[in-house]
Amino acid sequence: MKQIAKDILTALFMGLLLPGSLLNVTVKLLDIRAAETLPQETAPETVPETVPETVALTMYFRSPEGTVTPMDMDTYLVGVVLGEMPTSFEPEALKAQAVAARTYTQKAKETGGKHGDGSVCTSSNCCQAYVSESDYLLRGGTEEALEKVRRAVAATSGYVLTYGGALIEATYFSCSGGSTEDAAAVWGADFPYLRAVDSPGEEDAPHDTDTVTFTPQAFQNALGRTLSGAPGTWFGEVTYTDGGGVDTMVISGEVYSGTQLRGLLSLRSTAFTVAATDTQITVTTHGYGHRVGMSQYGADAMAVTGSSYAEILEHYYPGTELVRLES
């Protein structure tokens, strides 16, 4: 303050010599002193990105050779998501896939699973597909896409789905053709959270609609029967499930289930129609897989429209609860 007063007196003296300049000089001096005494602005602090807390769980990995070894759950799940779902899918769809796969793996560990020892193999026809990070990169995958999957798994670390306090049967498949299916219609076992639900937005899925053709002889060979009359007369009454799949179909007087025909004819799903001429039988399928549980392409369609992974899981597994396991 003494220095400021001294500067003002000097300015007054100079003002006598230079009339009209006193006010400007005084204001400039005050501005300079004020600037020196005011706290300087500092750059805003950068807030580090929050890293989700990892829940350390162990699973049992069965190699294609049959060797069973313990593996960190989240490390394993990165490989499952890489094997089961396109990395181009939305992050929320990848998260939903991670939770479903974690639930399946944890349930296998606790109940023995398909192999009886709690292990999970790498076959999608048996357990879950799996692609290691190194194999993914060797096949042309990118580090950016790999990191996207790692983040999806880390963001859901420890989360599983339960119903009535127990881990659910977290089944999933590629695409539904517009609706999922009741578990009872496919496997004969009823689960309250595996019901037929609408699954819109899958029209661009690679196997939303497929067509397979048979000669009349090839069709008979597939059924293991000799059918009489013209092919157009072979097909009788058809009943359908709540999910739009074939429940039963009468062929030359014999009743077949939709799941039977899917296996005999190697169809992509039980949602199919048949058209026959004297020279060709055409079967058109909608969807790919057993159509029970979560549709992967449906999950991505929901994520594109803004649904969170929790909302996706609630839609495909109605009535379930998302809970976090402890290490």
Please spell the DSSP secondary structure of 219-257, one letter per residue. Answer: HHHHHTS---S-GGGSEEEEEE-TTS-EEEEEETTEEEE
DSSP state, 305?
Answer: T
Q: Which amino acid is at 308?
A: S
pLDDT computed for residue 41 by the predictor: 45
pLDDT computed for residue 185 by the predictor: 95
pLDDT computed for residue 8 by the predictor: 38
pLDDT computed for residue 50 by the predictor: 56
Question: Residue 28: helix, strand or coil by DSSP?
Answer: helix
Using CA atoms, how far residue 72 sits from 111, 161, 324, in Å, is: 19, 19, 16
| Spatial separation of the C-alpha atoms in residues 256 and 283, rounded to whole Å | 15
pLDDT computed for residue 327 by the predictor: 80
| Spatial separation of the C-alpha atoms in residues 245 and 287, rounded to whole Å | 10
| Spatial separation of the C-alpha atoms in residues 214 and 261, rounded to whole Å | 13
pLDDT computed for residue 10 by the predictor: 44
- Kindly state the helix (H) or strand (E) to which residue 12 belongs, with its residue range: helix 2-17
| Spatial separation of the C-alpha atoms in residues 286 and 202, rounded to whole Å | 10
Per-residue pLDDT of the chain (327 residues; tens, 9 = 90+): 444 444 434 443 334 333 343 334 333 433 434 444 444 444 444 444 455 689 999 999 999 999 999 999 999 999 999 999 999 999 999 999 999 999 999 999 999 999 999 999 999 999 999 999 999 999 999 999 999 999 999 999 999 999 999 999 999 999 999 999 999 999 999 999 999 999 999 999 999 999 999 999 999 999 999 999 999 999 999 999 999 999 999 999 999 999 999 999 999 999 999 999 999 999 999 999 999 999 999 999 999 999 999 999 999 999 999 999 998
| Spatial separation of the C-alpha atoms in residues 18 and 297, rounded to whole Å | 83
pLDDT computed for residue 53 by the predictor: 84
Question: Residue 214: helix, strand or coil by DSSP?
Answer: strand
Nearest to 325 by CA among 143, 122, 107: 107
pLDDT computed for residue 52 by the predictor: 64
Q: Encoding tokens for residue 68?
A: 């069973």
Nearest to 168 by CA among 294, 62, 80, 68: 294
| Spatial separation of the C-alpha atoms in residues 29 and 32, rounded to whole Å | 5
